[in-house]
Chains A and B, each alone.
Chain A
């Protein structure tokens, strides 16, 4: 709800309508419809059936709302692997336009079970982003002068990548059962 907040004054898209089932007013907002969305996940098959675990945030909603969807994954796996654990498939290939295999593609953010959040990067970024010149210098060095992800990772260095590797914490496999 937005009752009692100034947010609805600042954002005219927040509207209040009569609750059709009651006396009071309720807040409504229009749906977001992105033209294109890019989502990062642990794995998908070649058709884009995508599995993710860890914080799932608003991934599913974004995926289904967008007109076009690109998933970027750490691993491309065979469809059998996906179908062994269907509860983990958040995004069906049906709505995926393209799959990009890009290990470590979420850095400086993290992928649950694959690599950690690069907290030092974010702390540095707080300082860099306060200053126009420092921001431009960073963009030049880390975005414009880096031709592809591979050179980004080379620049980042294997020591950094090693430091961001998490320890292991496996879930027990579950039995879906065979019903033939």
Chain B
């Protein structure tokens, strides 16, 4: 069965969410992934939105985190200050889903600028809550298309800390959360080595090779000895996404 890059990322993110109880969600792919997880294996998952919602049950696909569908039927709605201090900094968020324009080998993310900060080539949306989320969530799943311009040796700007310069750095700075656990791209999955915290290729999509992945990564990739082929989305997953979770194909 044919599937799009977005769909395989949604399905892999949903699979990686198994076991997470409280999930900090963004709009777009993360939102669909969480709803897929809830429909398939994690019906009790609590969705948290940075606009101030805990336990959201959105009845439609929100296009913005400021969407009234996040409020109706939610368990709790609060100020953003309460959400960030009491819930996020309080250590209650198991998993957060983040993305970015650039990522480096330690899972640090750039959502601020491309080029020089004072004279940027592209001005990106910025941090929003991302930096605080990256610091405090117990673990972070990163969802990004695999492209050479995105997987870079050196970030133009480090908006959100991942594993910084490698093992031990997060602890040294006293960052409470565990940092990135998985990078979910359309063509490969990566985890982070226990010893060095370096991004490691663990799964490749059907039709890809180590070489084809390496070609779009700006540093010499670490390869897992247990490297395997990615399970494609099931027809059930695709059916749910296409008929129920994103029927208009906004994110396909």
Please list the residues of chain A having a beta carbon within 8 angstroms of any beta carbon in chain B: 1-7, 10, 24, 53-61, 109-110, 112-113, 116-117, 119, 122-123, 166, 169
Contacts and interface: CB of A to CB of B under 8 A. Distances in A.
Interface size class of B (residues with CB under 8 A): 20 to 34
Contact of A10 (B63, B66, B79, B112): B112
Interface in B40-64: 51-53, 63-64
Interface string B144-174: 0000000000000111110010000110011
B72 interface: yes
Given A6-B117, A59-B79, 18 more contacts: A3-B135, A3-B161, A3-B174, A4-B135, A5-B131, A5-B160, A6-B159, A7-B112, A55-B51, A55-B77, A56-B52, A56-B77, A60-B79, A61-B79, A61-B81, A112-B71, A116-B68, A117-B68
A14 B2 CA distance: 48
Given A3-B135, A3-B175, A6-B157, A55 B53 contact: yes
Contact of A54 (B77, B159, B160, B174): B77
B132 interface: yes
Contacts of A58: 79-81
B65 to A, nearest CB: 9
Interface of B: 51-53, 63-64, 66-68, 70-73, 77-81, 112, 117, 127, 131-132, 135, 157-161, 164, 169-170, 173-175
Given A54-B68, A54-B71, A10 B117 contact: yes
Contact of A5 (B68, B78, B158): B158
A54 B108 CA distance: 34
A169 B57 CA distance: 14
Nearest to A6: B158
B52 to A, nearest CB: 5
B137 to A, nearest CB: 13
26 contacts: A1-B135, A1-B175, A3-B161, A3-B173, A4-B135, A4-B158, A4-B161, A4-B169, A4-B173, A4-B175, A5-B159, A6-B157, A7-B112, A10-B112, A10-B157, A54-B71, A55-B51, A55-B71, A55-B77, A56-B52, A57-B51, A60-B79, A61-B79, A112-B72, A117-B67, A122-B63
A56 B160 CA distance: 26
A36 B164 CA distance: 40
Nearest to A19: B174
A58 B78 CA distance: 10
Contacts of A5: 127, 131, 158-161
B154 to A, nearest CB: 12
Nearest to B49: A55
